[in-house]
Structures are given as structure tokens and as C-alpha cells.
Amino acid sequence: LTAHTAFADTLAAHPQLKAFRIINDEHTLGMHCNVYYQGLQVISDGYNLFQSKSTNEMFSIHDHIVDEINLSLIPSITHLQAIDIAREQTPFKRKCASYQLAIFDINATKGNQPREYKLVWNITVQNSGINVVVDAHTQEVYRNFDGKYN
């Protein structure tokens, strides 16, 4: 099985994957994919498929593909409300913010916790590294990264 065939077969078998980066270096041929559920990106999940050029072995990393999520995909708050919440968390007065309605596993960084998906507004401030993830139903902030590294 060639990597090209494996990549094509994977994308054909899982229409919820969309490749966004292909790696072709001296060691590896690889494909990085975003995961989608009913047209919304699952920003906490990804799928990566690689083939070692030295052994031809295929392997995947972070390979969770969402098949079913039990939650309302209709937001209770608008993107403008979510941006206001993000501004309260991380002031970015005169900077341009982008927003994305998405799905987020609030347990993604908590080890072996069961997946708990939420509908969120993913707010990103251009050229700043600021990222705030706001629950689109409860207004809870799940991630607040101000772009600064300690």
C-alpha cells in the first residue's frame, strides 16, 4: 500500500476529514487533516497519517475521527457576544478578531478523560497569538491564551 493510496483511501472513507498540509521530506510522507462534524471543525481533534520512507511503515497520530456528537449545533449567543466575552478575558481593543463556530472537546488536555464536546465560538485576534474559546450556549470560557509566553 503506497502512502498516496492510503491517503486517498482515508479521505474517501472519512468525508469528515479535510487535509490541510502534506509533508514530503527526506524521512516521511505525511498528511495532516482537520476533523469536521456536520460542517463544523472540531478544533480540539485532528488526524495525521504518515509513511516512513525508510521502512514504508504507515502510522497515524492524534487519530480521533468524530462520528456522533450529542449536542445542539445552534448557538445560543452570537459571535458578537462571544467577541465581547473574549475582550473581557484578554483586552484587544483595536485589533481585528476573527471568529469561527466550532466544536471543542473540553477534556482534550486532561489525559484519559472521556471526550466532552461543546459548541463554541473560537475567537482569534490577528497577529497577536490571542485565542479565546467561548461556549456558544453557556458563555463559559474554555481556553484563554493571551499570546504571551512565560
Beta bridge partners of 133: 122, 143
pLDDT confidence of residue 1? 52
d(CA 47, CA 7): 11
* Grid cell for residue 62: 492524534
**pTM (two decimals):** 0.85
* Grid cell for residue 137: 450556549
Determine contact, residues 61/50, Cβ cutoff 8 Å: yes
* Grid cell for residue 36: 469536521
pLDDT confidence of residue 149? 42
d(CA 60, CA 5): 15
pLDDT confidence of residue 150? 34
Neighbours of 17 (CB within 10 A): 20
The CA distances from residue 1 to 38, 52, 58, 82, 123, in Å, are: 30, 12, 9, 46, 40
What stretches in the chain show pLDDT beneath 70? Answer: 1-3, 62-63, 146-150
Determine contact, residues 101/119, Cβ cutoff 8 Å: yes
- Decide the pairing of beta strands 17-24 and 40-52: unpaired
